[in-house]
Amino acid sequence: MPRHQRYWVGLDAGHLETAVCLVDAEGHVFFEAMTETRAAPIRDILRRFGVEPVQSITIEAGVGTQMVRDLRSFGFPVQVVDVRKSSKFLAIRRHKTDANDARGLAELGRVAQSMGPQVFVKPVEHQDIRIMINIRRTLLKQRARTDALLQSIFRLHGANIKLLNGRGSLAAEVASQLRLLRTGGVTIRVDLDPLVSMGEALRSHISNIDREMRTMATSIPACARFQGRVRQCGVELGVASGLHFQAALGVICSGCASSIIGVARAAMPSICM
């Protein structure tokens, strides 16, 4: 293939392998392959046919987010399309395979060069905020399950425990209630140490994450301004909520507090009523 000829690339990304398809201006496929889901092997393939002629690299949102970031860092024009939009175009083909999907995405980039807004790929730092929030949410759910099980065990024996969140508070409360039960002649014969250790460990991890999130929230100007502006409306916004907005909005509103407040008012119209 002449190096000056324009061509379009379609990538059907899987967790381990990615189908690559290259089509020319007439829609003819001149190269197909399977490679690792990494940017470097794909870059090496495109170098064989010339980097400048690449008009677009089309990939569906979802798998391959880091590969998209890396390809863009190499200077390739990568467009990430919504799966709901691309699936209708790909459904035209009779046989659904990775190779056919890659060819369909290359064709989509060629014939529909203006597909409207692309899927926004968050920067790594905003992705990490979302991961931290999800980890905290999971730990809170697990702590609630552990506390509920301990509470139910004590209630079956006619006792009740206060579920405090401070470090060491759960172990101290369980030990205190066990002593009171033994004083009344009641003994819990089941070993509760695994549950107590799990509850204490969860409280410790949640406390560490909360401390890290508070530090992070105060260090991000947009997040701090957002919390301050909402506080002026008489609403105390938690650190997790402020970071959630930061992670969701990404760089779009990272330097504009008024835009963040506009989004907040649209999402919560009664916040300043």
Dist. CA 169–CA 64, nearest whole Å: 44
Asked if residue 28 lies in contact with residue 2, where contact means CB atoms within 8 angstroms, the answer is: no
Q: Which two tokens stand for residue 207?
A: 């406390």
pLDDT given for residue 67 in this prediction: 93
CA 264 to chain CA centroid, nearest Å: 20
pLDDT given for residue 90 in this prediction: 78
Q: Write the pLDDT tens digit of every residue in 254-267.
A: 344 444 444 444 44
Q: Write the pLDDT tens digit of every residue in 17-54.
A: 999 999 998 889 999 999 999 999 999 999 999 888 99
Q: Write the pLDDT tens digit of every residue in 55-74.
A: 999 998 888 889 999 999 99
Q: What are the CB-based long-range contacts (under 8 Å, 24+) for 93-101? A: 98/12, 98/14, 98/17, 98/19, 98/34, 99/12, 99/19, 99/21, 99/32, 99/34, 101/10, 101/12, 101/19
Taking residues 76-98, what's their average pLDDT? 81
Q: Which two tokens stand for residue 252?
A: 């779009």
Asked if residue 260 lies in contact with residue 249, where contact means CB atoms within 8 angstroms, the answer is: yes
Q: At what angle do helices 124-156 and 193-219 cross, to 10 degrees?
A: 150
pTM of model > 0.85? no
Question: Residue 31 carries which DSSP code?
Answer: E
Taking residues 111-116, what's their average pLDDT? 67
Q: Write the pLDDT tens digit of every residue in 134-184.
A: 999 999 999 999 999 999 999 999 899 998 888 889 999 999 999 999 998
The C-alpha angle 21, 22, 26, rounded to 5 degrees, equals 130
Q: Write the pLDDT tens digit of every residue in 173-228.
A: 999 999 999 998 998 989 999 999 999 999 999 999 988 888 887 787 767 676 66
Dist. CA 59–CA 71, nearest whole Å: 11
